[in-house]
Amino acid sequence: MNNHTKININNVNLSIGKQHILKNINVEIPEKKITVILGPSGCGKTTLLKCLNRLTDSYEDINVSGNIFINNKDILKSNGDITELRKKMGLLSQRPYPLPMSIYDNVAYGLKISGRKKKRFLNKRVEHYLKQASLWEETYDRLKEPASSLSIGQQQRLCLARGLAVDPEIILADEPTSALDPLSSQAIEEKFIHLKQYYTIVLVTHILRQAKRIADNIVFMYLGEVIEQGPAESFFNNPKMEKTKAYLSGAFN
Amino acid sequence: MSIKPGRNIRNRFHNIWMLICILLIVLMPVILAFGLYFKASLLLSDNSVFSLLFSKDWQPSKQNFGFYSFILSSLWITILSLAICAPVCLLSAIYLTQYARSNVLKLMHPVIDILAGIPSVIYGVWGIIVIVPLIANHIAPLFDVETSGYTIIAGAIVLAIMIIPFVLNILIEVFNTIPEQLTEASLSLGASKWETIKFVLFRKAFPGIISAFGLGLSRAFGETIAVLMVVGNVVKVPKGIFQPGYPLPALIANNYGEMMSIPMYDSALMMAALILFVVVLLFNFASRFAITRFELRI
């Protein structure tokens, strides 16, 4: 494992009931790069992503084996504070789910939860992260309005801001543009390219073109298995596996 | 041409039938209110509304019809029963939807439905056999009170148990409709499960919770048989939970068709029904109002 590997997924198997969803997953995710998990729908991309911050804990009849090392610590084995683990990762889901509170409180939520309640500190942080998510210009005069009053593209940027506000090291994004219009999608993609200098980004998508646009590193999954992984350039220009070639040529989706 | 003649007419005719059905439903409460008002108008022409509502004097033979003690009994019992039922339902609903395995909820659904289906007379009998002696022999002595057990609190407990399945069902529905991703969003921001429930789910569910309680309140306010069996039915302004009461529905059920020879009595009972009707309506409006006010803020 070299110095630049942020997340190391080692022999992970996951099943829910009798369904074997992830099969022998071995993946290395480099630090401060955009790693795209690519694959057709239902191949286990999202489940793999949820393993990383252990949102899978709340599933019934789930069985996970293997190791996931983050900063050289096995998060599957640790019985420590799971909220600490989750705080290291910002999650962006398929559709934005703003918390049922004001724009301001959405961003301040994570900070308040971890006990940082000083008004001046919060004001500064909220402004900082809204700017980082390119939302400040549109919202600075309506911070007290409910988050649900924003457009869906704005909501997704708000979700990004609130995720960044807990000061994560990793951003997990599960098809974050699938509910957005082209312009909003572009805004999010540009944001990711900008943010990768500070964060390790793991993005799940089934949109090939999106992967081409922003990926540094690709993990291609099919039916619960990792077929091929590596730097984006060699993946797209010089795929090694037959399945990858077929997928890239559009033989299946 | 295979199209049957008159097809258009039939098509329109079906529509009209549906419209008539809806009109019937919409008109029902209006007709009811007018009917009650018409019957009660005799009493209202002799007395001011204010004196009817706030006079404690109930002597039908002397033509004194003050509803104050009945209204107060009803309010006491209803609010007390909601106070008992609310935390029980809320905690059960949160447990069933957030903590329990999904098959526990599947098991609970028929149990709740059975509870909801038990006739109210049976709850009344159970109240007389279990709750009334329990209060007389064990609970009231704790507070140094001597009572027969036929009290406001007995009515409230029986009533609470009767509306629990009703309110619980709505609450489960309310919590189940909250998307799981909202929970995940909160968890991924480092919130614990309880913080997520307290700060996010509870807020999201708040309008639903209010409407569940509002409906429960309306139902409790009108519930008759089970309550009148355990509440004592003494015309007196209740001064505590260990005193007997005489709620409005019990007044109507006990006396309608009985002492009709007394002039105005018939009209007075209709007035009681009208008060019942209006209060339930107010409960509904109030909870609607609370919901819309809150929904603007989230």
Show the domains of chain B with their CATH numbers: 54-295 (1.10.3720.10)
- Residue of A83, A158, A171 to mutate for B, most B C-beta atoms under 10 A: A83
Region A214-234: mean pLDDT is: 91
- Chain A positions touching B293 (Cβ under 8 A) are none
What percentage of chain A carries pLDDT values higher than 70? Answer: 97
Please report the pLDDT score of residue B3 as a whole number: 66
Residue type, B223: E
CA pair distance B22, B166, nearest whole angstrom: 25
Q: Is B204 on the interface with A (CB under 8 A)?
A: yes
Asked if residue A34 is part of any domain, the answer here is no
CA pair distance B154, B238, nearest whole angstrom: 13
CA pair distance B152, B173, nearest whole angstrom: 31
- Residue of A55, A112, A202 to mutate for B, most B C-beta atoms under 10 A: A55
Q: Is B200 on the interface with A (CB under 8 A)?
A: yes
Smallest Cβ–Cβ distance between A100 and the set B181, B191, B200 belongs to B200
Q: How far is CA B59 from CA B62, B64, B235, B262, B275, in A?
A: 5, 5, 10, 11, 19
Please report the pLDDT score of residue A106 as a whole number: 94
Q: How far is CA A227 from CA A20, A244, B120, in A?
A: 16, 7, 64
Please report the pLDDT score of residue B42 as a whole number: 86
- Is residue B257 packed enough to be buried (19+ CB in 10 Å), middle (13-18) or exposed (0-12)? exposed
Nearest CA in chain B to A85: B190
Asked if residue A137 is part of any domain, the answer here is yes
Residue with the larger pLDDT of the pair A249 and B80: B80
Please report the pLDDT score of residue A1 as a whole number: 39
Mean pLDDT by 10 residues, chain B (298 residues): 73 84 93 92 86 87 89 93 95 94 91 92 95 92 89 94 94 93 92 93 92 91 90 87 91 83 86 92 89 77
CA pair distance B66, B48, nearest whole angstrom: 11
Using one digit for the tens of pLDDT, what is the confidence trace for A106-129?
999 999 998 888 999 999 999 999
Tokens of A89: 């990762």
Question: Best-predicted range by mean pLDDT among A103-107, A241-245, A249-253?
Answer: A103-107
Please report the pLDDT score of residue B104 as a whole number: 92
Using one digit for the tens of pLDDT, what is the confidence trace for A38-77?
988 888 899 999 999 888 888 888 889 999 998 888 888 8
Residues 6+ away with beta carbon under 8 Å from A102: A143, A144, A145, A146, A147
Asked if residue A85 is part of any domain, the answer here is no
- Reply yes or no on whether the pLDDT at A3 is more than 60: no
- Reply yes or no on whether the pLDDT at A247 is more than 90: no
Asked if residue A30 is part of any domain, the answer here is no
- Reply yes or no on whether the pLDDT at A2 is more than 50: no
Q: How many domains does chain A have?
A: 1
Please report the pLDDT score of residue B1 as a whole number: 54
Is A146's CB within 8 Å of B101's CB?
A: no
pLDDT band at A253 (very low <50, low <70, confident <90, very high): low
Q: For tokens 């990762």, what's the residue? A: A89
* DSSP bridge pairs for A171: A90, A201
Q: Which domain holds residue A115?
A: 99-166
Smallest Cβ–Cβ distance between B184 and the set A91, A109, A148 belongs to A91
Region A155-171: mean pLDDT is: 92
